[in-house]
């Protein structure tokens, strides 16, 4: 009998392996980004030149890439405008934030491109790396030839991989028929022209004879983002509105300034001259398909305000490319950042924070109880003290506090000075009962969750303590050369257990027991110690979430590298 005991003990040990992974599929709603999947042969590193898309004009492109150390490749938009990978260098352009990518780690890239038209050069209105704005309103060097061409990747050296390609042929969100079958109108990126006018100008009637002070692209009728003076300025907006359903549409302009609205060259609203804040409605019959919209706005004094509302044939209503009431719109940030310097002793900064990281001039959600911890060159990180979530991490400079401390108006947010690794921001802890219970998107009042305190170790690094009902929970993050070590503790006595979120990504792949590779965001994750007995990988409609069950007095320590 005793000769079988080692085998029996081995069997028991294997069957209770704390790193054993339990995989389940759960249901979760999917929010569409309006882009279509690009199908291409993808069986590993790309060699030489590969066509990803046929000839295209305007383009909104999302993809994930990773490159080995020393690898170099050119992503060629229209076969002639180059973004180098992995550096993201663009000829003649200076990035707003120096991109930083690590070898072998997946990176998310989004490119908004407007093709050259007439005498106007091609432009990158925006390029994002992992949600961080890298280029903004960046005109491209003129290249001879047609204003179309294919999207290609030219791998010059090393191994470069691409995946998760999605695209649309417009530089932003368009009109849709929503899940309720109702028409929602929106124009993709609009071109604008800003003019400054002499004092005393009564009306603008000679637009064609004026020279714009600046031009660009924007997705909202945002006067404050464009204007440079208090009055005596004019803005022309040009856009293409796609109509999903034919019928009679109404548009209502609300403004105290001189405003005219044209659709396909027909003036449907005339608010010219000096007047108080008024609402003017216009009607037009529109066929299904694209229609050209132009707005002429002249600020001759008074309030800087313009809204354009619409009503569709099916009775739906909304605002066309304007800021709805009580919504926060993200800006590109200050051009003269106020740099908060750090040294080897951690700096704890309380602030507001846009999260999830929004696109420029999109509706933004502001987290109001954020603490960011920075030291030396990082990695730095931000936590939401209201739900315990790790929001983001980054290297390089720590924080731009211009919008917090200069003028103290809106939006009062801190901005990281390096490209971020974004996390999903959902609650860190949950009292779910089983593997297939969906992870909560937000805390309920009944969860009774709160940040109670934080303590500092000898190096000044904080441990954050939270309470959730009967549970006392701890969270400590320690920077390393390659990433962050995170230690999560369940401090309560008794026999209660609780689940904690280890990671969330578009894809989580187990590469060895306790080792994982993530894409969206790109991370390598290694569990260093764990005294629980259940790791759960939930798959939910293109989003994976790795969870760990912690017993009373239990802990989990893992390394995140990027």
**What would the CATH number be for the domain defined by 187-320?**
2.60.120.1560
Is residue 493 predicted with pLDDT exceeding 60?
Answer: yes
Q: Please name the residues in contact with 440: beta carbons below 8 A apart, sequence gap of 6 or more.
A: 426, 427, 430, 432
Query: Between residues 7 and 376, which one has the greater pLDDT?
Result: 376
Q: Residue 541 has what pLDDT?
A: 86
pLDDT of residue 325: 64
For residue 269, list its beta bridge partners. Answer: 261
Pairing of strands 339-340, 397-400: antiparallel
Going by pLDDT thresholds of 50, 70 and 90, the confidence category of residue 221 is very high
CA 44 vs CA 78, 107, 160, 258: distances in Å: 24, 16, 8, 57
241-280 pLDDT, tens digit per residue, is: 999 999 999 999 999 999 999 999 999 999 999 899 999 9
Which of 329, 348, 356, 318 has the alpha carbon at shortest distance from 183? 318
- pTM, two decimals, is 0.89
Q: What are the structure tokens assigned to 223, written together?
A: 């006067």
Could you tell me where in the chain the CATH 2.60.120.1560 domains are found?
187-320
H or E segment at 324? Answer: none
Question: What is the four-CA torsion angle of 392, 396, 402, 408, rounded to 10 degrees?
Answer: 30
Which segment of 7-11, 156-160, 193-197, 276-280 scores lowest on mean pLDDT? 7-11
Q: Is 172 left (phi over 0), alpha (psi -120 to 50) or beta?
A: left
Torsion of CA 366, 504, 443, 431, to 10 degrees: -160
What's the pLDDT at 9?
A: 31
| Cβ pair 440, 389 in contact under 8 A | no
d(CA 318, CA 184) in angstroms, rounded, equals 7
CA distances to 198, 226, 297, 299, 304 from 236, in Å: 17, 11, 6, 12, 15
Residue appearing with tokens 């004092």 = 199
User: Biggest alpha carbon distance in the chain?
Assistant: 105
CA dist., res. 370 & res. 379, Å (int): 17
Query: What is the mean predicted confidence (pLDDT) over 186-204?
Result: 93
**Ranges of CATH 2.60.120.560 domains, the chain:** 36-168
Tell me what the mean pLDDT of segment 198-225 comes to.
92
What's the pLDDT score for residue 143? Answer: 84
**Nearest C-alpha neighbor of 222 from the set 249, 251, 258, 189:** 189
Tens digits of per-residue pLDDT, 428-468?
999 998 899 999 999 999 999 999 999 999 999 999 999 99
Query: pLDDT grade, residue 536 (50/70/90)?
Result: very high
Mean pLDDT, the chain, whole residue set: 92
Architecture of domain 36-168: Sandwich (2.60)
Q: Please, are residues 464 and 346 in contact by the beta-carbon 8 Å criterion?
A: no
């Amino acid at each position: 009998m005793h000769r079988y005991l080692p085998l029996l003990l081995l069997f028991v040990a294997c069957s209770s392996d704390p790193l054993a992974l339990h995989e389940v599929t759960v249901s979760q709603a999917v929010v569409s980004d309006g882009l279509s999947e690009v199908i291409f042969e993808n069986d590993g590193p790309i060699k030489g030149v590969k066509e990803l898309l046929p000839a295209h004009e305007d383009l909104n492109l999302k993809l994930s890439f990773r490159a080995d150390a020393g690898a170099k490749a050119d992503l060629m938009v229209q076969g002639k405008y180059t973004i180098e990978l992995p550096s993201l260098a663009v000829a003649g352009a200076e990035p707003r934030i120096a991109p930083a990518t690590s070898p072998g780690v997946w990176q998310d890239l989004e490119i908004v491109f407007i093709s050259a038209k007439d005498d106007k050069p091609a432009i990158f209105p925006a390029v994002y790396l992992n949600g961080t704005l890298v280029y903004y309103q960046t005109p491209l060097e003129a290249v001879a030839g047609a204003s179309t061409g294919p999207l290609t990747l030219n791998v010059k050296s090393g191994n470069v991989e691409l995946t998760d390609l999605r695209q649309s042929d417009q530089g932003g969100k368009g009109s849709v028929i929503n899940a309720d079958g109702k028409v929602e109108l929106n124009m993709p990126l609009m071109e604008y022209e800003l003019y400054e006018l002499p004092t005393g100008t009564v009306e603008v009637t000679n637009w064609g004879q004026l020279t714009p002070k600046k031009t660009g692209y924007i997705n909202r009728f945002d006067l404050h983002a464009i204007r440079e003076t208090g009055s005596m300025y004019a803005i022309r907006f040009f856009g293409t509105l796609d109509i999903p359903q034919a019928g009679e549409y109404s548009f209502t302009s609300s403004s105290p300034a001189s405003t005219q609205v044209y659709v396909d060259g027909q003036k449907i609203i005339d608010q010219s001259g000096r007047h108080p804040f008024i609402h003017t409605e216009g009607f037009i019959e529109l066929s299904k398909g694209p229609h050209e919209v132009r707005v002429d706005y002249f600020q001759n004094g008074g309030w800087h305000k313009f809204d354009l509302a619409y009503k569709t044939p099916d009775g739906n209503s909304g605002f066309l490319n304007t800021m709805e009431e009580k919504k926060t719109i993200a800006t590109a940030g200050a051009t003269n950042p106020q740099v908060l310097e750090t040294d080897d002793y951690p700096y704890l900064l309380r602030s507001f924070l846009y999260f999830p990281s929004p696109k420029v001039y999109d509706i933004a959600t502001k987290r109001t109880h954020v603490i960011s911890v920075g030291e030396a060159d990082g990695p730095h990180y931000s936590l939401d003290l209201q739900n315990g979530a790790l929001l983001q991490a980054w290297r390089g400079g720590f924080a731009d506090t211009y919008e917090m401390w200069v003028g103290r108006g809106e939006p009062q947010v801190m901005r990281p000075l390096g490209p971020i690794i974004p996390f999903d921001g959902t609650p860190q802890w949950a009292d779910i009962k089983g593997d297939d219970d969906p992870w909560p998107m937000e805390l309920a009042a009944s969860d009774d969750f709160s940040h109670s305190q934080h303590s500092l170790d000898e190096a000044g690094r904080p441990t954050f303590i939270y309470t959730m009902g009967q549970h006392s929970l701890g969270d400590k993050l320690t920077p390393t050369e390659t990433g962050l070590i995170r230690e999560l503790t369940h401090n309560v006595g008794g026999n209660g257990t609780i689940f904690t979120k280890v990671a969330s990504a578009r894809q989580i792949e187990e590469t060895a027991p306790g080792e994982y590779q993530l894409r969206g965001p790109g991370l390598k994750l290694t569990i260093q110690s764990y005294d629980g007995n259940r790791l759960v990988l939930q798959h939910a409609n293109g989003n994976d979430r790795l969870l760990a069950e912690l017993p009373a007095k239990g802990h989990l320590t893992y390394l995140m590298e990027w």
